[in-house]
Structure 1
Amino acid sequence: MTLFSRYGLGSGYNGAYFVPALSRLSTSVVAESSESPKDIYGGLFPTVLSSIERPEVGAHNPEINDLRCIGSYNWVDNINPTIIAPGSPPIWKQKSMPFQVIHDQLNSRINQDGHRLPSCDLLPLFKAVDVAKEDDPSLDIDWKSVDFVTNRNGLRKLLRWIDGRGDSRRQRPFRLDLELAGERTVLLNRWEENRLAPPGMGYGFGFEKETTVPAPGCENSTGHHRIVQYDFGGLNMIVRFEVDACIEVLPQATPQGRSTSNNMARKLNDSPSSLHSSSGVDVEVIRAGQLVPQSSIVELATRSERGANYFDWTESYPQLWLSQTPHHFLAVHYKGLFHRLETRTLDDDEMKYVHAEFEGTFKKLRALLETIQEIVVKHGKGSCLSLVCKDGILAVHERESRDGCLPDEVMNRFHL
């Protein structure tokens, strides 16, 4: 697909003022009532085991190398937790501008994995990797050599804390639940105080509806998730993240010659396959979609005319870089009338200039992750810890429950 030409680039990384991201495009929208937020210290012992200082400097090269996609999936609404694997992101279509969309009016699920599987947030990741390995037997993962299994969201929260700016929107309290798998692997689980986010002030959902179409077999999808593995300054990382859209690619065949396009799709009223778990918590798997190339994935964002003119990369660039998302499409509107699209790629000269501004922060993230790993390994197998950031202080607590975040048969992968 030919990309749109670039028009009127904003002021880039200079941060004239912070414009919060309005795009929650790959998260499902729901008409559910509001709820009381969870207690950030809920289920934790009050004693602080240790406090973590912000790294002064990082010694390791913060580059990301050897990236490969090891799985992907889409959530669907079903009575039982159900994913489409490998699934596919919505496909970007070149809709002519201008066009009008209505204001976002529904709540959105903040974290679909935690919403649908509160006790096993990471389980769909492993299910999707198993499907990818079925399609490509050459896909080999040495789980015991992995340093972190995490969501991109957790890394972004740690980056905000490292940055330490006084903006209250960037210094909101957060919690990350930690568990040791095998000898060295840290499972970093997302924790959110709310299940739902209010509609806000944007037009992101309307924009996505007008500019993307579901991939064949993924018509009932409520969000696409991608899993990549890469080397981050010597740390072996497995990172899950949401994908807003992709540039259309032709249906591909697996190494065994089996098509992964629409002819493999099963409707929800059929019996989906399930990779059973002895823990009683399970995810049903519908086989449909295809594992799209990394080069095709797109991050979508929307801004008003004023917001685009003062676009700040403080939030958006780490989001792109930590997942190596190559395309960023910024749609500009006036009261929902979209009239301009600014397209950038991660390797643009402008993005290289932005990266230089973040290089020191990424070094500090690498140092912080090593500190977190040392703490978790020190406490050993069976310890369930949580990082809690409040009032700018990052503290380690022990959780009251010893229940693991994954079934035993998944945890055993880190010992083989």
Structure 2
Amino acid sequence: MYRQKKYSQFQSKPRWRQPEPEALSPAPPFGSLVETIGIAELSGPAAQFKASARVTNCELVASYNWLDKTAPSIMIPGAPPRWTPLAKPRQLAEDSGVYYRDKNAARYPAHPMEPTAQAVMAMHPEPFKMPVDIVGCGSTIGSLLRFIRGDERQFRMLVEVVGGAVHLIRRENSPTETIPSVRGYGHTFPEAYTTWDAGVRGSASHQRVLRYDFGGLSCIVRHEGDGYLEDKLESLPDEGGAVTSEECSVDALIQGLDASEMKTKSPSHSSPLRSQVGGFLVPQTAVFELKTRSMFRKDQDFLGEELPRLWVAQMPNFILAYHQRGVFTEIEVMDVAEKVKVWEKSMQRELSQLAALLHRIVDLAHASRDGRLEVSRQELSRLHVLEQSPELPLAFSGDMMAKWEDWLDPDGNCRVSGGGADRRGDDAEGKEAEDEFSWAVGDDDYTACSEKCSYCGKCTY
């Protein structure tokens, strides 16, 4: 999957009490089949999206850090770690330890998308002028794009209509499923070459939330930022680690996080989610994605392989670090914004099909009985759209569900989802159970993988 790198695992003594690992977890059962979607079937509908199958009006709308604490805790707006390369290369230790396929779900298994909604509402107390059609992440949008492009990897994702917006939520076999035999330097390198600023020390990862238009759809997309380049900041953070902007000041955040949000929330079968104000806004132009590779494979087009993911996250900077036995002697810091645009133009057919696929999923979700579906890719050229298993919890806890619905749909036009009953308060019946978010990945070689590709087993040095 599109990688989602987490830095808490780099720290030698994390405060977060890690869940008991599950190396191999059985796949959750499938619901009843609703429809299958073949790639060939998308060619006709895709024709109408040729002009609009590109990202426009992209803006950063929120960000937050996962904090390395025992209880699930986020800091809004947070900040990514700063790029601080070593003055002289030294040999790094190889990655070791326990790594989870989806650390977001491992930290907050019942409602892994809830911090995204909380950060958006805190930084934008007033709803957007235009309705939101899709809320997803780099993993879910990226998985659908890989399906279109013929990548053979399997995946599963949950689909849920909340406030009129279709939410695409990554599904793992278990939130604590681990990756066996992880090797390489994809975790120790950023530990050595990036630094958390004073105001965000104790962070585990930095999450960013974009809003952009694609294929006639208004999309909110969460992705992770590996770090930022200081020379691309318009202003430097102060010693306290907090700077303000016209779009979002710390005072505005405090107002946006009302008293109930500053206290703990208690989703059933999950530790409570806590939030606090801190950090500073980092523009998207300063954020980078990081990849490590062996010098022995330097002739491979690693940037070309990363462009689809960079496009989904609208990531303008890419750092590619080459090593020989753990000594990183060649590091490329690249501005790839123009290359991402060129890639987008060259992928008109595939992106038009992606737009058609997203529209089809949106239509099916709104037409469903309760606004809840699952999308599964178990075959090379077909997706299965299924009913969700009834025991699965709602995407958001009861309190957050009500607030997020009101924010997404302030006029109440979409309060009824998929022809079913009002979704508000369903959660209060105590039906929530620990979420199991994942896809199934085969027993491949994970040596060159990182958490950002979900340890797909296909990466090579």
User: Is TM-score (shorter-chain normalized) higher than 0.5?
Assistant: yes
| 2:184 is the alignment partner of 1:202 | yes
Write the distance in 1 (CA, Å) between the matches of 2:359 and 2:336: 26
Q: Secondary structure at the match of 1:197?
A: coil
Q: Secondary structure at the match of 1:388?
A: strand
* Residue 135 (structure 2) aligns with: 149
| 2:285 is the alignment partner of 1:304 | no
Amino acid at match of 1:301: K
Aligned partners of 1:114 and 1:190 also within 8 Å? no
Aligned partners of 1:32 and 1:107 also within 8 Å? no
Amino acid at match of 1:35: E
Amino acid at match of 1:189: I
388, 391, 396: which one aligns with 1:399: 388
* Residue 213 (structure 2) aligns with: 231
> CA RMSD for the aligned pairs?
2.9
Structure with the bigger percentage of strand: 1
Aligned partners of 1:26 and 1:243 also within 8 Å? no
323, 336, 355: which one aligns with 1:333: 323
Write the distance in 1 (CA, Å) between the matches of 2:20 and 2:261: 32
Worse-matched range after superposition: 367-376 or 193-202: 193-202
* Residue 292 (structure 1) aligns with: 282
Q: CA deviation at 1:199?
A: 5.7
Identity of aligned residues (%): 27
* Residue 455 (structure 2) aligns with: none
From the superposition, tell whether residues 273 and 394 of structure 1 become closer, same or farther in structure 2 (CA, over 3 Å): closer
Write the distance in 1 (CA, Å) between the matches of 2:294 and 2:301: 10
Write the distance in 2 (CA, Å) between the matches of 1:325 and 1:372: 26
Residue segments in structure 1 that go unaligned for 5+ positions in a row? 1-19, 165-169, 265-270
Write the distance in 1 (CA, Å) between the matches of 2:186 and 2:372: 37
Write the distance in 1 (CA, Å) between the matches of 2:211 and 2:92: 37
| 2:34 is the alignment partner of 1:49 | yes
Write the distance in 2 (CA, Å) between the matches of 1:50 and 1:227: 31
Write the distance in 2 (CA, Å) between the matches of 1:414 and 1:273: 18
Amino acid at match of 1:111: D
Task: After TM superposition, list the pairs within 5 Å mapping 1:146-185 onto structure 2.
Answer: 146-164=132-150, 170-183=151-164, 185=165
Residue segments in structure 2 that go unaligned for 5+ positions in a row? 238-242, 411-461
State how many pairs are aligned. 372
TM-score normalised to structure 1 length: 0.81
Write the distance in 1 (CA, Å) between the matches of 2:220 and 2:340: 24
Aligned partners of 1:303 and 1:331 also within 8 Å? yes
* Residue 95 (structure 2) aligns with: 104
* Residue 415 (structure 1) aligns with: 409
TM-score normalised to structure 2 length: 0.73
Q: CA deviation at 1:204?
A: 1.6
Write the distance in 2 (CA, Å) between the matches of 1:384 and 1:187: 9
Task: After TM superposition, list the pairs within 5 Å mapping 1:10-409 onto structure 2.
Answer: 25-29=5-9, 34-42=21-29, 44-45=30-31, 47-54=32-39, 55-56=42-43, 58-59=46-47, 60=49, 61-133=52-124, 140-142=127-129, 145-164=131-150, 170-183=151-164, 185-194=165-174, 195=176, 196-198=178-180, 200-248=182-230, 249=233, 250-251=236-237, 252-255=243-246, 274=262, 282-313=272-303, 315-348=305-338, 350-380=339-369, 382-392=370-380, 393-401=382-390, 403-406=393-396, 407=398, 408-409=401-402
Q: Secondary structure at the match of 1:204?
A: coil
From the superposition, tell whether residues 340 and 388 of structure 1 become closer, same or farther in structure 2 (CA, over 3 Å): same
Aligned partners of 2:161 and 2:371 also within 8 Å? yes
